[in-house]
Amino acid sequence: MLGAIRFLGDGPGRDSSRQSFADTYYKAFGPRFGFAYQLAKNTVVRGGYGLSYGQGNATAGLRDSQKFIYGFNAAPSYATTDAGATPAFYWDNGFPTNWPKPPFIDPTVQNGTNVTMIGRGDGRPPKFQNFTFNVQQAINEHTSVEAAYVGVKGGWLGNGLISINQLDPKYLSLGSLLTQSVTSTAAQAAGIKIPYPGFTGSVAQALRPYPQYLNIVNNSNPNGNSTYHALQLKVTHRLSHGLTLLGAYTWAKTLTDGSIAAGGGPAGQDYYNRGLEKSLSPNDVPQIFVVAYTWELPFGKGKKLWNSGVAAAIAGGWQLSGIQQYSVGKPVQLTANNGLPLFNGVLRPNLITGVPLTADHPDPLANPWFNKAAFSVPSSFQFGTAARSYTELRAPNSYNESFGLTRNIRLHEKVALVIRGEFFNAFNRTVFGAPAANISAANFGRVSSQANAARQGQVSARIDF
């Protein structure tokens, strides 16, 4: 029967023709090129392309193989045979040694359990094609603006969709027969074959590609793909009149069915239809705006205002800094309670067309964010029709303002006292966590957590000399 445990190395029952389960990948060639051209006196055009590789599958996933101890471990257990009237063994005689000792070089050693596998092609590292084109315009000697298109196409990513021992959905037509014993009268009348002598289990287990195993996990498979496209705008103001400023806005979209981390990415609804799994990335953030600045306040000696006397001594040396961040929330992953006897990853709800996906939520804790009427739990032995995620169904937006106030007090020509106060989430905004996304749950669409920390502040002082 296919699917036996394989042992590498020298000796009886081992395969000496290979040194590792996965082939070493020697084709990770990463060319890169770029250009810059001064289109006009204050205008520069830049662009570039690069092919790069990540660690992903070739390290984290294959490192998982070091946990493979199939046939090399034992867990002896001894128990009293007469409800405690006599002990299982006597400590005075030491722990019993009459149990089978590993190694067990047996291709059936893991039958009836979950197993992890590595494929010959799993040594491929994640591959990324990076391309960019931007235009930079100088407004004056201190200020410039920039607009850029940035794209990344990922391939051979770690993927959580490979489930080779999932039952083929064509057997859903058997209905409740799948949950009955393969030796039952109904199963035998339906012509269900017992896969091998001594097999016991359900019809669904008997019809799996490898009925001798439960789940077969492949964490190192390089089967994921992704795309990222973004418009990035930036304004830079270099130090002038005491002010330094950097502002950036990104409008982007990320689609994926995997992750750079081996075995990562969202779980799939059906291994036999993985093409449906490419959707918005769990980390997709379509809009981000960030501004960071430092401003030396115009007071004190050498400044425009209050530059002499007591006022200068009190008001001089202050500097204000801040970072303000605003972003759209990440998409949620829709699910339903999975009762399918297919041993698949997740089950998604049905989508009811023509019904708004979101609901009004004037009180975000008391009212649902998602419209439950837009979804339904799939009927028995059926997959859901909804996509994994929708751009309308997201966690709440994130807002944060943090500020710092610093004063530099000159105590001596070479000694200064620096006093600094920092305030994080200065306006004490509440950013709620993602709403519940399981349509089978009573709290579907409701928020039950907070995703950020409350306002915090700290004050410090140091002497520079």
The domains of the chain are located at: 1-72+101-167+208-284, 297-465
Interatomic CA distance for residues 217 and 340, integer angstroms: 19
The answer to whether the CB of 394 falls within 8 A of the CB of 328 is: yes
pTM over the 0.85 mark: yes
User: Could you tell me if 406 and 419 are in contact, meaning their C-beta atoms sit under 8 angstroms apart?
Assistant: yes
Per the prediction, the chain carries an average pLDDT of 90
Q: How far apart are CA 34 and CA 144, in angstroms?
A: 21
- Of 281, 257, 373, 389, the closest CA to residue 335 belongs to 389
- Percent of the chain, pLDDT > 90? 61
Q: How large is the average pLDDT for residues 362-381?
A: 92
CA trace torsion 73, 7, 342, 338 (10° rounding): 50
Average pLDDT over residues 329-344: 95
Q: How confident is the model at residue 309 (pLDDT cuts 50, 70, 90)?
A: confident
Closest CA to 329 of 391, 240, 422: 391
Quick: pLDDT tens for 260-286.
666 667 788 999 999 889 999 999 999
Q: How confident is the model at residue 306 (pLDDT cuts 50, 70, 90)?
A: confident
pLDDT score recorded for residue 128: 95
Amino acid 66: pLDDT: 63
Amino acid 449: pLDDT? 93
